Amino acid sequence: MLTLEPWALLILPLFFALGWIAARIDIKHVVADSRRLPKAYFQGLNFLLNEQPDRAIEAFNEVVRVEPETVELHFALGALFRRRGELERALRIHQNLINREDLPAPLKEQAMFELGVDYLKSGLLDRSEEIFKRLSEGARREEALKQLLEIYQLEKSWDKAIELAERIPELAAQHEVAEFWCEMAENALIRSKTDEARRHVQQALSLHRQCVRASIIAGDIERKEGHADRAVEAWLRIEQQQPEFLALVASRIAEVYKGMGRQAEGMQLLKGFLSRYPSVDMLDVVCQQVVEEEGAQAAYDFAIAELHRTPSLIALNKALEARAAVTPAEQLADLELVKKLVKAQTQRLARYTCKSCGFKARQFYWRCPACSEWESYPPKRSEELALIQ
């Protein structure tokens, strides 16, 4: 049983008394602070709570006019409206702050920065760029330069992004700058400027030797110039870089070997990759090759063997597709029902997932459209990642 010393019984009331006094002091401070706030402050809060944001902004403008030290209230409101997507109201708040002649220089610079972010979120990239260029010479230089780099990427001004990243290396990692060069290479390839594209690929690889995308584009360049063997050689380098990305070029490899009249050789190469680096995308390509070369029954047998080796609904769907091709019409109804149900599930699972923000997409992206991270998508579908984990 717990026993207390006599001296402890004397100290306990003292602690309670001290706590009560501290609480009273805090309450007095709160009351005193609230009395010092202008009436317009409470009117603004009331308008905001009653979903009258325009009148709230007017009231808070009056607060700032009467009590300049409450300018932080405007910054908080601007950030709130921007998060809610009410960009016009955020713009108005920050513009009002910039127009104040009595606003100290550091706060005016902060208001300009927030206005630049408002323009960026609104898609007014030229106005945003102009503001951040001005701020890049001041105290908020680093933050402004980061925003400028983001603007150049949104504008797809890859030459400007590369120039800025090379001038200030801490703004972007080398693998990100390598992606800028890859964007330049793809643009050159679209315009059939293969020599220019090749130079950009070399720049990317010099920065990031493990840049899979550069190897993919290198193969595309050789293929466009009619050098099938060199194209395959470039794509095969991916095995030394990041072999799980071979699934992204499986269909390219199959098409090139088919064009050379060496389908069987290409199929054996892809089967070897599939056995070493299991992937549903690779399985899809190989199954199609088996159908073309050996028939639907062989494709079904192959898909079933792969299903036993790496069980997944996506692999089951491929097996059912092959099975349907060799099933008599009178027995096809039940199989089609099962196939339809499985396919509905695989459409939900057959997506790529950004490892940075979790955004799911049907197609593979080098840069996540949700969080803007580069190389954040593993080349595996959601179901495969779940099985690995």
Burial track 110-141 (b if 16+ CB lie within 10 A, e otherwise): bbbbbbbbbbbeeeebebbbebbeebbeeebe
Q: Count CA atoms within 13 Å of residue 364 on its CB side.
A: 13
Other Cβ atoms less than 10 A from the Cβ of 11: the count is 10
Q: 150: how many CB neighbours lie within 10 A of its CB?
A: 17
- Pair 194, 227: CB distance under 8 Å: no
Compute the distance between CA of residue 356 and CA of residue 347 in angstroms, rounded to an integer: 22
What lies within 8 Å, CB to CB, of 83 at 6+ separation is: none
Residue 96 one-letter amino acid: N
Separation of alpha carbons 114 and 111, rounded Å = 5
Distance CA 16, CA 50 (A): 41
211 is in an annotated binding site: no
Please say whether the beta carbons of 342 and 313 come within 8 A: yes
Q: Which parts of 19-164 are beta strand (E)?
A: none
Q: Is 287 assigned to a binding site?
A: no
In angstroms, the CA 379 to CA 359 distance is: 14
Whose CA is closest to 204, among 375, 380, 376? 375
Query: What CA dihedral angle connects 243, 245, 250 and 253, to 10 degrees?
Result: -70
Cα distances (angstroms) measured from residue 256 to each of 247, 260, 265: 15, 6, 11
Angle between helix 105-122 and 71-83 (nearest 10)? 10
Task: Return the bridge partners of 360, or none.
Answer: 353
Q: Tokens at residue 203, please? A: 């720049």
Q: Is 182 annotated among the ligand-binding residues?
A: no
Q: How far is CA 44 from CA 30, 78, 186, in A?
A: 19, 14, 53
Feature table: binding site: 354, 357, 368, 371
Feature table: binding site for Fe cation: 354, 357, 368, 371
